[in-house]
Amino acid sequence: MALTSPASVDAFLESPQAICALTHDRIDVQAVIASVQDDAAGATATFIGTTRNSFKGKIVTRLEYQAYSKIAIKTMADIANTAIESASCSQHQPSTVSGKVPSVIRCAIHHRLGTVPVGEPSIVIAVSSPHRKEAFVACEEILEEVKRKAQIWKREYYEGEDENEAEWKENA
Amino acid sequence: MSKPENTINVLYFAAASTAVGKTFESFPIPQDGLKLSELGELLISRHANTDLRKVLSTSQWSVDLEMIDNPELVLLKGGEEIAVICPVSGG
């Protein structure tokens, strides 16, 4: 197993519109979805990233994640807030509404740390909004930004290979 | 006994921690400060015969939980928490 940094700890940061979590526990997908529910939401978009059993023909036995948690949780919150702010106004809004109904109501980003066995979720993102387009757009934007910027690292272990040689991956 | 204030804390993750064989270290820096742009060479000299130079060539720095765009502009004075941020792979 890779050296575990004492900085790679569970973390939680919540604001009225964004819930971000780093956890060593199995992610409760239904709880993450429930955390963004709102009576004003007509749509909830969800992304679940799971450990895949192969990479370029090699059999993956498990993934390990570590994070610089104090900075990663801030990065995740910034990503969530940016996605909320940049959500465009839906064309469904009547012209009399002065913009009080947000295009994205709430988002949740949960990322797992430690060992994630094949088939289990490593990241779950849920976004609620009045209408579907904003939810889909925000969900994808959050995922791509987390992959680009969050201070989280993944190590992939392959069947039949020396664990000490396992590679730390780099997102393109 | 508390650490002298001219000590910096350096955190290593992922490929950086694999290269140096540890996840953190603390050491004093000169009284009149150390440029962040010079920290890399200092760390490499502390960990000779490792892959650290190669890891640092693709990594960024964070200082006190802020990512640094331009290391040339940062002067460390002591007390900072610095991390080697190698290319990320979350999500």
Strands A114-117 and A43-50: unpaired
User: Using one digit for the tens of pLDDT, what is the confidence trace for A119-150?
Assistant: 999 999 999 999 999 999 999 999 999 999 99
Taking contacts as CB-CB distances below 8 angstroms, the residues of chain B near A146 are 90-91
What Rg do the C-alpha atoms of chain A give, in angstroms?
Answer: 18
CB A115 within 8 A of CB A129: no
Long-range contacts of B37-42 (CB under 8 A, 24+ apart): B37/B71, B37/B72, B37/B74, B39/B10, B39/B71, B39/B76, B39/B82
Evaluate if residue B1 carries a pLDDT over 90.
Answer: no
**Whether the predicted model's global pTM rises above the 0.80 cut:** yes
Question: Could you report the predicted ipTM of this complex, rounded to two decimals?
Answer: 0.94
pLDDT at A65: 97
Mean pLDDT of B63-91: 97
Residue A90 has a pLDDT of 46
SS3 A122: strand
What is the nearest CA distance from A119 to chain B, expressed in angstroms? Answer: 15
Strands B60-63 and A43-50: unpaired
The percent of residues in chain B predicted with pLDDT above 90, rounded, is: 93
pLDDT tens readout for residues A21-76: 999 999 999 999 999 999 999 999 999 999 999 999 999 999 999 999 999 999 99
Count of H helices and E strands in chain B?
Answer: 3, 7
Cα→Cα distances B57→B53, B63, B87, Å: 6, 17, 10
Amino acid present at A100: K
pLDDT exceeds cutoff 90 at B5? no
User: Quick one: pLDDT at residue A167?
Assistant: 87
Q: Which structure tokens are listed for A83?
A: 């996605």
Which tens digit of pLDDT belongs to each residue from A72-126? 999 999 999 999 998 854 445 555 555 556 899 999 999 999 999 999 999 999 9
The residues facing A12 across adjacent strands are: A21
Find the angle CA(A93)-CA(A95)-CA(A100) to the nearest 5 degrees: 60
**A 118-137 residues with CB < 8 A to B:** 122-123
Higher pLDDT, A46 or B6: A46
Q: Please report which residue ranges of chain A form alpha helices under DSSP H.
A: 29-34, 69-86, 132-149
Q: Determine whether the interchain pair A5/B89 forms a contact, defined as Cβ–Cβ distance below 8 Å.
A: no
